[in-house]
Every structure is written in structure tokens, then in C-alpha cells.
Structure 1
Amino acid sequence: MEIMIGKDYKLTSDTLNVILNKRYDQKDKEGNVNGEAFKIIGYYSTIHSACNALIEKEIKDSDVISLDGLKKHVAGVKEQIFEALKSVKPIK
């Protein structure tokens, strides 16, 4: 499984976990950006728990200064998650 959430996050999986990954810039020894890659943020038992963790991470990392701003930020993250999950086909 590989589901992109927005441009900076993706969900992947192994046989036991759903894995939340975040995009980062790869740099060479001199500090020059030479590509992009993903690093693992965490392992979760369900897609639901991975998405909740993403929302929590975005809340903690946000620099908003009001509850209204935080509400809009969280709504944007949730919209990215909903859009990403639309591409998942149900198992028949």
C-alpha cells in the first residue's frame, strides 16, 4: 500500500503496520539539496490511527496563534486525508 496525503506525507504498510512517512530534502555533505525522500514518522495498527497521528502532529507543529486558525489548519489536513483515501478501493 502507498497512499499520498498532500505533497508531504504518505501512508505505506508492511505485514503488521500502517506506516506514516514524511517527505524531506536529501542533502549532500556540503548541504546542497540533491533529491527528496521519505522518513518514517511512526508505525500504527490501523489507517485510522495513522491519520489521527498525522492530525496530532500537524497540530503540534503548527504556528497558528488562534483557535480559529488552528480549526482551519486541522480542517485542511483532514481534507487532504479525505482526498487521499478516496483513491483506496474497497476489498470485495
Structure 2
Amino acid sequence: MEIMVGQSYKITSDPLNIVLNKKYFKKDKEGNVTTDEAFKQIGYYNSLHSALEALIEKEIKGSDAISLDGLKKHVDVVKEDIFQALKSVKPIK
């Protein structure tokens, strides 16, 4: 399984877990950020629901919102990214 959620997250799986991954840009030998993208595993969960809840929680904690209204708008964007990602998943027949 590999599901992109927005531009920054990817949900994958291994035989035992649902894995939440976050995109980052690699650095060269001098420590300069390159244009090469990669994903880092940031959490392991027992269900897709748990992984998506954790993604929302991480976004809330990492938000730079200065008001509840700003935070609500940020969470709404994250939820919309999740909704769009789940719409793209094809059912197993």
C-alpha cells in the first residue's frame, strides 16, 4: 500500500504496521538542501484510522497558527487532503 496524503505525507504498510512517512529534501555532502525528495518513517500504527489520527495530531502540534480559527482552518486543510487521498484508493475486488 502507498497512499499520498497532500504534498508532505505518504502512508505505506509493512506486514505488521501501517506506516506514516513525511517528505524531506536530502542534503549534499556540504549540508546544503538539494532538490532530491525522500520520505522518512515517522510513525507505526496498527490501523489506517490510527495513522490518520496521528497525522492530524502531528499537524496540530506543528502548526504555527496564532488563533483557534487559524488552527481550525489548518486542520480543515489536512482533513481535506486525507479525504482526497482516500478517494483515490481503489477498492479490492
Band the TM-score falls in, shorter-chain normalisation? over 0.9
- The residue number in structure 1 matching 2:25 is 25
SS at match of 1:52: helix
- CA distances 1:23-76 after superposition (whole Å, capped 9, x unpaired): 001001201233110000100011110000000000000010111111110000
What's the TM-score, normalizing by structure 1?
A: 0.95
Alignment of 1:63 onto 2:64? yes
Point out 4+ residue stretches in structure 1 off by more than 6 angstroms.
none
Aligned-CA RMSD value: 0.9
Q: Which amino acid aligns with 1:45?
A: N
Matches of 1:77 and 1:45, distance apart in 2? 21
5+ residue gaps, structure 2, are: none
What's the TM-score, normalizing by structure 2?
A: 0.94
